[in-house]
A and B are shown apart, each in its own frame.
Chain A
Amino acid sequence: MKAPAFLRLSPRWAPYVFISPFLVLFAVFGVFPLLFSLYLAFQSWEPTSGLDAMESVGLANFAFALEDEWFWKSLKNTAWLALASGVPQHLVAIPLAVFIHTSFQRLRDGVIGAYFVPYITSTVAIAIMFSSLFSTDFGLINAGLHALFGIENIDWLGKPENIKPAIAFIVFWRYIGFNMVLYLAALQTIPKDLYEAATMDGAGRLQQFFHITLPSLRPMIFFGVTLSVIGGLQLFEEPFILTGGKGGADQSAMTSAVYLYRMAFDFNDFGGASAMSWLLFVVVALMTWLTNRAFKPRGGGA
């Protein structure tokens, strides 16, 4: 059952035929948008006036962003949320992974699954669920805090000083399983005889943790923290949904990505939003580089 001659593909052209559906989409929806947004960053344009109304404004969009109070505020919010959700993720995920690695055999998959499942669930469902749990008068979190510690109801989502910790908790909850799995994978590569030798030398569990486990995990810590930083700086869905797309009281939960969205789709400033997206790109790249420097294992090996 051979294909007719005109349908037969010569081995020379085959790779181009196989790669082209992907490459065409990649060029149109992956590369072109980036180049176009770079161009747009130097234009003044709003979508209602048609493509002809675009006007070159040089660096004005960038200058405007840098003088914009909300731009800096959104950056500060983003950094706060990235740190407050990111750092605890790793501080908790590492010991959890060690516990599971050393003490769980039969229930291992089930336990890992329980921690991982928030990562694959819809952010919208999660945000809806938590906006109920965090609600002031009938939320379970306040009910629990009152029952356990006698704390009066806290206005989690309405007060500027409370909304950030609430969102940071949700992000922490969502990604801890992912980080735990990374550390579990790294733990499996540590040779067992290292621990045996340490036990022979009379090193306790804590000593082993600090002198064998932690140094061996260092490359993965570097990688995981980098991922958290990059992810944290892009935070959009949780704050967007929990604040009804506005950024919360006093813009206290307006992350950079949320502000970017609002600038384009609420305030119709597409040029300004594009300029801002490139400024943010520089921030993300810079933070990635800094994390890289801070955590990367120096010299050869451990």
Chain B
Amino acid sequence: MKSDRLTPWAAYLVVGVGALIMLAPFYFMFVFATQSRANIFNLPPPLWFGDDLLANLKILTERLPFWRNLGWSLYVALASTALTLLFCSMGGYAFALMEFRFKKALFTLVMATMLLPSFMSMIPTFMIMDALGWIDQHRALYIPGAASAFGIFLMRQFAATAVPKELIEAARMDGCGEFAIYWRIVLPLLKPALGTLGLITFIASWNNFIGPLIVMRSLDNYTLPLALRTLQSPVNTEWGALMTGSAIATIPLLILFAVSSRQLIAGLTAGAVK
């Protein structure tokens, strides 16, 4: 009996302290975002919020076209999300509920590419973008991403269970066109999966570093992660401003996560749990 009472408290303690360790770096990012560079260099370093947020923001906007970079991040993430949702829902619907030649082989091929290490496509992607004249163009970031194997997987899985075949047959009998069936019947039924894929795509694009690193060239066109990195130097890094920028880049993610953590976690581990 004694051990049964003790164990939950030990569990609470371990899990709770662990959770604090997990969150501490975020806390200090926000604290440092409000501290001047000089204060951050103090010993001991500041543990509570200061009042240099606006000063840091001023440095940030002087050193970087910060709002522009933020705007590009948002633009690329939204464009990438819209394209991915459109193409993957159409493709996933076709894979789940329609018959066509080489369907099985194609689906296997798409799934196989999910297993390939990401570094495999680094060099050829650069060369294709170069050949297409897309270097330093934002479309190089959101167009290739729309061919998401994960998106096709998620949409197919969901469409197979959520869209009744009879409903589509009936609509076809009533003379409903194929596009209308997709747009008015399939898409509304796919809504929950579209939400999950949309969140995941938006976050992945917002955080994307390797993609822009390889194709983007001018600071004015950089997305946020790439722009922030240019502030880091071996000497004289403006830590306060850099933390302010990182915090601003992190806040939208924390908000998205706060309102949708269940859906997001389920979606991100979907391939694993099923």
A18 within 8 A of B: yes
Q: Does B79 contact A (CB under 8 A)?
A: no
Category for how many chain A residues contact B = 35 or more
Which chain B residues numbered 120 to 142 have a C-beta less than 8 Å away from chain A? 120-128, 130-131
Identity of the chain B residue whose Cβ is nearest the Cβ of A38 in the assembled complex:
B124
Instruction: Report whether B106 and A117 are in contact in the complex, using a CB–CB cutoff of 8 Å.
Output: no
**Structural contact, A281 and B116, CB atoms closer than 8 A:** yes
Q: Of B118, B119, B124, B206, which one neighbours A40 at CB under 8 angstroms?
A: B124
In the complex, B254 has a CB within 8 A of chain A: yes
Cα–Cα, bound, A176→B19 (Å): 11
How long is the Cα–Cα vector from A147 to B26 in the complex, in angstroms? 21
Q: Does A53 contact B (CB under 8 A)?
A: no
The answer to whether residues A121 and B250 also contact, given A15-B99, A18-B93, A40-B124 and a CB cut-off of 8 A, is: yes
Classify chain B: how many residues form its interface, as a range.
35 or more
Chain B residues whose C-beta falls within 8 Å of the C-beta of A115 in the assembled complex: 18-19, 22
| Contact with A129, one of B25, B172, B264 (Cβ below 8 angstroms) | B25
Complex interface: chain A residues within 8 A of B95 (CB): 19
Stretch with Cβ within 8 A of A (4 or more), from B53-61, B190-198, B228-236: B228-236
Q: Which of A14, A140, A143, A177 contacts B178 (CB 8 A)?
A: A14
Are B179 and A9 in touch, CB under 8 angstroms? yes
Complex CA–CA separation, A17 to B118 (angstroms): 29
Say yes or no: is A155 at the interface (Cβ < 8 Å to chain B): no
**Docked pose: A273 CA to B11 CA in angstroms:** 48
Contact of B91 among A21, A109, A264, A281 (CB under 8 A): A21
Q: A72 at the A/B interface (Cβ < 8 Å)? A: no
How would residues 243 to 260 of chain B score, 1 for a CB under 8 Å from any chain A CB and 0 otherwise? 100110110011001100
Is A88's CB within 8 Å of the partner chain B? no
List the 7 closest A-B pairs by CB distance, nearest first. Answer: A33-B124, A25-B147, A29-B144, A22-B91, A124-B225, A15-B98, A99-B11
19 additional A-B residue pairs with CB within 8 Å, beyond A14-B98, A102-B8 = A8-B177, A10-B178, A15-B98, A15-B99, A22-B87, A33-B120, A40-B123, A47-B127, A100-B11, A103-B12, A103-B15, A116-B257, A117-B23, A122-B250, A129-B243, A260-B123, A261-B122, A277-B120, A280-B119
Cβ-based interface call for A42 (8 A): no
Q: Does A182 have its Cβ within 8 Å of any Cβ on chain B?
A: yes
Contact residues, B68-105 vs A (CB, 8 A): 86-88, 90-91, 93-95, 98-100
Stretch at the interface among A60-68, A79-87, A236-244, A292-300: A236-244
